[in-house]
Amino acid sequence: MRAAALLLLLPAVAHADAKRLFFQRGAVVMMMDLASGEAGPLTDQQGTRGVASLAVSPDGETVYYSIEHNLWMVLVQGGPPRPVTAAGKVLRVEAGEVLAVECDTPRISPDGKWLAYRLERPDEPPELRVRDIAGGDDKLLLSGPEHGPAVWTPDSSHIVYVDEHRLWKVRPDGGSPQAITEDPGGAWGDAQPSFARDGRLAFCRNLIPMVRTPDGKIQKAMPDDPVGQLPLFSPDGARLAFVRHVIDKADPAHQWDEVRALSPPARLSQLLVSTDTGKGLVGYARAVGWLSNDTVLVLRSVSAESRKLYGVNVATRDSELVTKLERDDGGFVLWP
């Protein structure tokens, strides 16, 4: 049954198009209503490990998550969590290390028909697997060393993944993978894909944000201001948020994170949030998602005790506290 813990009363978020925020708190899946500011637990499972990753169905009514080596699901309106996979299990313990089969990183297709996830066995290449949510057995799509978390195309026709330093796509019903980009060389290659609703694809090429249009043209997101990571389109696709890690050339020990935004293909980006306090290695910041077309949800942390989520308006740079976070809060997912 749903955990009977007290609700947290948090500041409501003004002018947010997103309605709910889901996140993990240790072994608990949490949900926050952004209109009322109320937050509380959806699950009360006990385990030796916390929730590892979250995904929310397009209708916002079902949360998929991984805990204790397997995928589970829980309905937002209530009811007990139900297992989705059964392959995850502990195999053995060697020299104090637990070796297990892991099912994690669930990804739901935008049309709500498919569940993709990652399965890993000790000393074997990870697998990208998919199942029809309406029923049917799991299907192995890929087995390889680098495919990582999958992302769906907006029309749900393909899953995009990383392998051999470039981006590939594969249909959920099978078939041969197709390369989207060529290996650009360099230490990092192409990674971190993220889609706009109109089919444009943002990704990082050796830590430089790029944009690929549906017709296959690729260009830098910002020609004169290139470096960044984790690009994320606004709901209308007009803006792109990303993270930049900055190292002071005069004092390399002085490092900090910045969250920036731009309207591609702008020449320069705009600083929204920084963790710089003037010295040392200072915290981190991430663009978690978009609360609306002009407001980014930003995680800012300069210490374990100061982790907070803010809504930052891109046009005015005004920030609004969404919630304070506990040390082990993570896996933030906005809906819709």
Burial of residue 308, with CB atoms counted within 10 A of its CB: 0-12 exposed, 13-18 middle, 19 or more buried: middle
Determine if the pTM surpasses 0.85.
yes
Amino acid (one-letter) located at 225: D
Per-residue pLDDT of the chain (336 residues; tens, 9 = 90+): 344 343 444 455 544 689 999 999 989 999 999 988 889 999 987 766 788 899 999 999 999 999 989 999 999 998 999 999 999 999 989 888 888 999 999 999 999 999 999 999 998 889 999 999 988 778 999 987 666 678 999 999 999 999 989 999 999 998 899 999 998 888 889 999 999 999 999 999 999 999 999 999 999 998 877 789 999 999 999 999 999 999 999 998 899 999 999 988 788 899 999 999 887 777 889 999 999 999 999 999 987 678 999 999 999 999 999 999 988 899 999 999
Number of other residues whose CB lies within 10 A of the CB of residue 220: 15
Domains of the chain, first to last: 45-180 (2.120.10.30)
